[in-house]
Amino acid sequence: MTPLTRGVWVDMLCFMWRSEDRGRLEMTYQQYARLLSCEQVEIKSAITELSVTKIADVTVCNDLVTMINRRMYREERERKLTRSRVAKYREMAEKRKSNAPVTLPSSSSSSIKNNTMSSVIEIIDFLNLKSGKNFSHKAKATISHISARLKEGKTIDDFKKVITIKCEKWMLDPKMCDFVRPETLFGSKFESYCNEYPPQRKASW
């Protein structure tokens, strides 16, 4: 990295750590420039270099620029998931201590949770990471689309392939970036998306 980009990236990491959505920043070039006390031209140059060198995940939609530090973003999600599980375990333990009745899920919902939900969570987390969006893995329509494709024999790697290709093709297009969403990606055209080639990359050397 150039000295300018290195300095911008170090400052960004500090702000990412303090961000409500840790590991992720989303704002305009003008806001980045004001936050980091730089000129917009310098910020655009630094962000372009960070994107080309793959040091950060960068998506631009309309006037908004999303910057993601992959490791920080992933570890924060893992921490939140762990805290959620610990809270549930504690709640169950408290209910057992107080002899409160524990409601067990029905066999059908338990089967869906065991066989599908882990895949849904992994797929939607990957989509959010690549797109910089915040889709919920609890949405019924999302679960339905993913379940249908899994029943057809599609794998999690197939979903990740489609997500990667479509994010690279659509996220920089103001007219298409809104279509990076579960109902579009995982719907009836999923098979054709699976057979698309990724956009050709220019050599960075």
Provide the pLDDT for residue 154: 92
Q: Which residues contact 30 (CB under 8 A, 6 or more apart)?
A: 40
Structure tokens at 75: 């570890």
Tens digits of residue pLDDT in 68-84: 998 988 888 888 888 88
The dihedral built from the CA positions of residue 169, 175, 181 and 187, taken in this order, carries a sign that is negative
Question: Whole-prediction pTM value?
Answer: 0.46
The yes-or-no verdict on residue 180 having pLDDT over 50 is yes
Note the residue count of the chain: 205
pLDDT of 184 above 90: yes
For a pLDDT cut of 90, what percent of the chain falls above it? 51
8 A C-beta contact, residue 23 and residue 3: no
Q: What would the pLDDT profile of 91-120 be if each residue is shown by its tens digit?
A: 877 777 666 555 544 555 555 555 688 889
The answer to whether residue 204 scores a pLDDT higher than 70 is: no
End-to-end CA gap in the chain: 13
pLDDT band at 174 (very low <50, low <70, confident <90, very high): confident
User: Which helix (H) or strand (E) segment is 93 a member of?
Assistant: helix 70-97
Q: Please tell me the number of Cα atoms within 13 Å of 151 on its side-chain side.
A: 7
Q: CATH for 3-70?
A: 1.10.10.10
Amino acid 179: pLDDT? 93
**Domain spans of the chain, in order of start:** 3-70, 104-205
